[in-house]
Structure 1
Amino acid sequence: MVDRFERFSYAISEISRHWHKLATEEMEKYGLKGPHSVYLLTMHRYPEGITAPKLGELCGKDKADVSRMMSILEKKGLVTKEGIHQNLYRGVFKLTGEGKDAAEHVRKRVSLAVEIAGKDLTDEKREIFYEALESITLNLRQLSKEGLPK
């Protein structure tokens, strides 16, 4: 059992470390950091705009992180806010033209990275892998909320 835990922990840690390194390298072109890529990619899927609470939910981030990231992306000219400007949680964030270009660039680079990272997997193994990751994520999310059973 310990061997499985060690292999699992090491693999997740390695994937995360290398993924964040690649994301950081890509985002440097825009004067941003790796975590901004998640926001750009998520917003890219919502061309009509997205609210801060929905963005936080989809990115797995809290209000403070969403607020900080949107402020940075607005200052860089990649995002605009439409609606009530005094309140972050009313209104909608949209990518600007420059933001759409940046998001599309990042999306293409991410697709290439995922393709290369999984090049040795058959379609069947890839499908099983993603299903397993989703299951592990959901189970760990539940455990982190409820705690381990006694």
Structure 2
Amino acid sequence: MIHRFENLTTGVSQIYKSIQRIKKHEMSSFGLKGTHVMCLYFLGSHPDGLTAADLCNLCKEDKAGISRIMSDLEEHGFISYDHTQDKKRYRAKAYLTGIGKKQASKVTDLILHATIEGGKGITEEERAVFYRVLFLISDNLVQVCNELESEYSSSLLET
């Protein structure tokens, strides 16, 4: 049983590290960091714009991290904001500029290439099973985390 844990954690860790290396390598040529990849990707996928809160949910990043990323993207001229509906930047929708759309297109190409290369030798059936199992494990571990946090909160209240 413990070997399953080792296999899962080392496998996921290696995949994550490889993805981070690919992001870092490719983004440095744009003057950006790997953390910018998913924001550019999601903004490119949503031409109607996204708020920082939207990006937090989509990228699974915290508010501070998304704020830094969006500041960098704005500084590089990749995004602009629509302040007509809300004056606060966090609630204002961000849109890709012309140069931002070009970078987002390059990011999408990078993602497609990595996805194709990473999935070589895997049948569609194997891929479907892999993702079903991966998200089942993810959901189960989120439940474990929620239970641990609930127990921890309860123990704090008792003291």
Normalised to the residue count of structure 2, the TM-score between the two structures is 0.88
Note the alpha carbon deviations across 1:25-78, whole angstroms, 9 max, x for none: 111111111111011111111101011111111111111111111000000111
Match of 1:120 in 2: 121
- Aligned to 1:80, the other structure's residue is in SS state strand
Match of 1:147 in 2: 148
Question: Is the contact made by 2:82 and 2:94 (CA closer than 8 Å) also made in structure 1?
Answer: yes
Match of 2:25 in 1: 25
- Aligned to 2:95, the other structure's residue is in SS state strand
The CA deviation at 1:91 is 1.3
Read off the aligned partner of 1:71 and give its amino acid letter.
S
The CA deviation at 1:148 is 8.2
Q: Which runs of 5+ in 2 are unaligned?
A: 152-159
Percentage of matched positions with identical amino acids: 36
Instruction: Output the aligned Cα RMSD.
Output: 1.8
Match of 1:11 in 2: 11
State the alpha-carbon separation in 1 of the partners of residues 88 and 144 from structure 2: 34
Question: Is the contact made by 1:67 and 1:88 (CA closer than 8 Å) also made in structure 2?
Answer: no
Match of 2:72 in 1: 72
State the alpha-carbon separation in 2 of the partners of residues 139 and 123 from structure 1: 24
Match of 1:92 in 2: 93
Question: Is the contact made by 1:47 and 1:94 (CA closer than 8 Å) also made in structure 2?
Answer: yes
State the alpha-carbon separation in 2 of the partners of residues 143 and 100 from structure 1: 40
How many residues get paired? 150
State the alpha-carbon separation in 1 of the partners of residues 143 and 44 from structure 2: 28
User: Are 2:121 and 1:104 equivalent residues in the alignment?
Assistant: no
Normalised to the residue count of structure 1, the TM-score between the two structures is 0.92
